[in-house]
Amino acid sequence: MQIKHAEFVMSNSKVAHCPKDRLPEYAFIGRSNVGKSSLINMLTERKNLAKTSSTPGKTQLINHFLINKNWYLVDLPGYGYARVSKKAKKEFQKFITDYFEKREQLVSAFVLIDCRHDPQPIDLEFMEYLGESQIPFSIIFTKADKLKPQALARNIEDYKAKLLEGAWMEVPNYFISSSSHGDGRDDILNYIGDINKQIAAD
């Protein structure tokens, strides 16, 4: 898929205020600093479409970007920022579950995982939540350029093994990306493009 058009539409703190048209949407989510903004800018080939985070955890908003005037890329807030209170964590959880449970036009989520790190409980639990809620998702392993190919392959294999040890009977669909090098861009966009074609044909 070529990105011919990408525009910021709105930021919301409530699902009820999100765009009312029924265009298919794809939500990007992950821990703060995972590289979500960089990935969105890389995918859309726009330098500053998503704001790279200088203050992680501060902006708890749902951001809608209209792509090619026929689908939404949704930037959800980063989770797992350590320096927030329990109350704030609870509110955040509610905010996120509200989005996933109410947003009917959500087609699929992308859960971003930093390829350098060992599997983190917060990510594993979040993917389990998506699975239990029957929300389709793919994993995107980010920052692939930060590892040598062998180390990258080993980390991905370890991650897959951890998923299979846990709640998963099979490994969820996944992509490997580098925002610095553009890796994964075509695969992710073609994946979205193919689903959009299917939806339009139905």
Q: How many residues bind ligand GDP (CB under 6 A)?
A: 18
Nearest approach in angstroms of CB 106 to ligand GDP is 20
- Choosing from 1, 38, 66, 123, the residue that interacts with ligand GDP (CB under 6 A) is 38
Nearest approach in angstroms of CB 116 to ligand GDP is 10
Helix axes of 121-132 and 86-102: crossing angle, nearest 10 degrees:
30
- Choosing from 1, 27, 36, 79, the residue that interacts with ligand GDP (CB under 6 A) is 36
- Rule CB under 6 A: say whether 178 interacts with ligand GDP: yes
Query: Site residues for ligand GDP, window 116-145 (CB under 6 A)?
Result: 142-143, 145
Within a 10 A sphere around the Cβ of 14, how many other Cβ atoms? 12
The residue whose two tokens read 């709105």 is 10
Q: Give the residue with the Cβ less far from ligand GDP, 28 or 71.
A: 28
Name the strand (E) or helix (H) holding 197. Answer: helix 185-201
The pattern of x and - marking residues 42 through 81 that bind ligand GDP according to CB under 6 A reads ----------xx--x---------------------x---
Q: Rounded to whole angstroms, what are the CA distances from 128 to 62, 98, 188?
A: 22, 16, 22
45: amino acid identity, one letter: E
Question: Among residues 8, 71, 16, which one has the least CA distance to residue 37?
Answer: 8
DSSP string, 74-105: EEPPPB--TTS-HHHHHHHHHHHHHHHHH-TT
Give the interface segment with ligand GDP, choosing from 63-71, 133-141, 151-159, 172-180 (CB under 6 A). Answer: 172-180
Q: Give the residue with the Cβ less far from ligand GDP, 50 or 196.
A: 50
Binding site for ligand GDP (CB under 6 A): 32-38, 52-53, 56, 78, 142-143, 145-146, 178-180
